[in-house]
């Protein structure tokens, strides 16, 4: 959700009854994150969180600075993801914060639990962004989580409607995390053309890049991403330098601003196949709540009872 998790959207989600999340790395500096937190708080009195994703990088961002800035501004819920989150988790727990950590494998979830996280986000292979390298779908991953984990977990990846929420609850999740679905809302900062592109797309309109580099990312299938895939498939493979300009984050950011879906790389999950409208966050959450309650209620009809017993 980089470039998407901004104050307007986070506040709208929280005001509607969800937990809005600001993405720290959308902001250019810890000072800018402080400003974004203040802007969000001016738009909602409800809780919201901050995501800090640890990315492989030659020149990593000031993760500790972002963490301190958010804690200093009174944020108490954090979502972490990526490699070696131990120091961040330790810092957040020392300051009385709730930590949700994203995992794509059960063994990683167990490690995070040992580090003291409060909730795990179990991300199936269907998700946008980085789904891991094991290609395990949410159906199996969540069922494994129910058997293996001893702390609460939420379901992530491939969820965009009430059926997905009901299924996740049946699989033992305490809730769900949605990214692509909220990209396609009125309050989302994306250009209207991109929102309409999501509505027009199907579950077949994503592709994996960085596969040969063991840093797989699911993105929208367009001219740029397919060029990246073609370069990676060349005999002998590809180095990051070969695709650096194509996958530039700033180029991807401009997709959301100029509305050209072919201008750069942008994240999208296969749940695009389930998205057919652009509602407000309020309308979306009300629809999801009503739909989930109805589905769960109707499941009573599949329970066989024997009145003679």
pLDDT tens, residue by residue, 64-93: 999 999 999 999 999 999 988 999 999 999
Residues 6+ apart with CB under 8 A from 209: 216, 217, 219, 225, 228, 229, 232, 243, 247, 265
Coil, helix or strand at residue 231? helix
pLDDT confidence band for 309 (50 / 70 / 90)? low
Which pLDDT does position 294 carry in this prediction? 97
| pTM attached to this predicted model | 0.93
Give residue 252's pLDDT. 93
The b/e string for 174-205 (b: 16+ C-beta within 10 A; e otherwise) is ebbbbbbbbbbbbbbbbbeebbebbeebeeeb
* Per-residue pLDDT at 213 exceeds 60: yes
CATH numbers and ranges of domains, the chain: 7-190+277-295 (3.20.20.70), 206-258 (no CATH)
Residue 308 has pLDDT above 70, yes or no: no
Task: Give the whole-number percent of the chain exceeding pLDDT 90.
Answer: 91
pLDDT per residue as tens digits for the range 167-210: 999 999 999 999 999 999 999 999 999 999 999 999 999 999 99
Q: What is the pLDDT at residue 225?
A: 97
């Amino acid at each position: 959700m980089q470039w998407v998790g901004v104050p307007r959207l986070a506040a709208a989600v929280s005001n509607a009854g969800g937990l809005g999340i600001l993405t720290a790395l959308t902001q250019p500096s810890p000072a800018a994150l402080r400003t974004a937190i203040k802007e969000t708080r001016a738009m909602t009195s409800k809780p919201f969180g901050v995501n800090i994703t640890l990315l492989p990088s030659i020149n990593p961002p000031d993760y500790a600075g972002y963490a301190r800035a958010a804690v200093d501004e009174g944020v108490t819920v954090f979502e972490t993801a990526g490699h070696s989150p131990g120091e961040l988790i330790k810092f957040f727990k020392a300051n009385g914060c709730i930590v949700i950590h994203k995992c794509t494998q059960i063994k990683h979830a167990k490690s995070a639990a040992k580090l003291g996280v409060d909730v795990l986000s179990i991300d199936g292979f269907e998700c946008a962004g980085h789904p891991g390298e094991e290609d395990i779908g949410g159906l199996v991953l969540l069922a494994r989580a129910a058997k293996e984990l001893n702390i609460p977990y939420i379901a992530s990846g491939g969820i965009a409607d009430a059926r997905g929420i009901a299924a996740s609850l049946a699989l033992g999740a305490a809730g769900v995390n949605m990214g692509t679905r909220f990209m396609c809302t009125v309050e989302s900062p994306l250009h209207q053309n991109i929102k309409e592109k999501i509505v027009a797309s199907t579950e077949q309109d994503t592709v994996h890049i960085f596969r040969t580099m063991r840093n797989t990312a699911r993105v929208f299938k367009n001219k740029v991403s397919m060029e990246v895939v073609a370069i990676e498939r060349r005999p002998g493979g590809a180095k990051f330098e070969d695709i650096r300009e194509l996958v530039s984050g700033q180029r991807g950011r401009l997709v959301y601003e100029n509305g050209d879906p072919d201008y750069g790389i942008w994240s999208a999950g296969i749940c695009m196949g389930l998205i057919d409208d652009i509602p407000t966050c309020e309308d979306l959450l009300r629809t999801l709540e009503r739909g989930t309650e109805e589905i769960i209620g109707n499941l009573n009809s599949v329970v066989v009872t024997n009145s003679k017993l």
